Amino acid sequence: MRIAFLTATEGVEEVELTVPWKAVLEAGWTPRLVSTEPGEVQAMRHLDKAGTYPVDRVLTGRTDESFDALVLPGGVANPDALRMSRAAVDFTRAFFDAGRPVAAICHAPWLLVEAGVVRGRTLTSWPSLATDIRNAGGTWVDEKVHICREGTSPLVTSRKPDDLEAFCYGLRTVFAG
């Protein structure tokens, strides 16, 4: 199974990228770092620069077709930049249109709001996104992990780095089908 990890070129919360990446590898699947530009992604530890990670694939026309599932790591700047990218929004929406599973943590549901895929779904996120999710027609819950099977695509969401163990368990369970 090929799993896309979508990030902007800067601002992804490092632990929200690396811990799910490791979980995907441990499940025997193939993770690929997809971004809006070639080169490297600058990860963060909150507001401080952390490691850099090489981009495997740049968003283009139908990039989504070669992936079975999507992981959206958070960080404040990462999803904020992605929701301003038409290619990132379209890429994300394509997984929902195709009924493929998606997992998003922390601030990443901002991208789901922008993609118009929240209406009628229940999800969790960093608490400051609750109003955005409700305004987009979703139901926000305060849970470590929430698995939503409403709609065509299964959606796994979590609130923050402290929830990564539950998030990884949820995404492995849902992605395995």
pLDDT tens for 84-138 read: 999 999 999 999 999 999 999 999 999 999 999 999 999 999 999 999 999 999 9
Given this model, what pLDDT does residue 132 score?
A: 98
**Residue 175, H or E segment:** helix 164-175
pLDDT digits (tens, 9 = 90+) for 131-151: 999 999 999 999 999 999 998
pLDDT digits (tens, 9 = 90+) for 11-46: 999 999 999 999 999 999 999 999 999 999 999 999
Q: Which residue has the higher pLDDT, 61 or 118?
A: 118
Given this model, what pLDDT does residue 65 score?
A: 80
Global model pTM greater than 0.85? yes
CB burial of residue 144 (10 Å; 0-12, 13-18, 19+): middle
Q: 46, 106, 146, 168: which is the annotated catalytic residue?
A: 106
Specify the CATH number for the domain of residue 70.
Answer: 3.40.50.880
| Contacts (Cβ under 8 Å, ≥6 apart) of 3 | 24, 29, 30, 31, 32, 67, 68, 69, 70, 71, 175
146 has catalytic annotation: no
CA dihedral in degrees (93, 118, 160, 158; nearest 10)? Answer: -90
Domain span including residue 79: 2-175
Q: 46, 107, 146, 168: which is the annotated catalytic residue?
A: 107
Residues in a beta bridge with 148: 155
Tokens standing for 56?
């495997």
46 has catalytic annotation: no
Structurally, how many domains does the chain consist of? 1
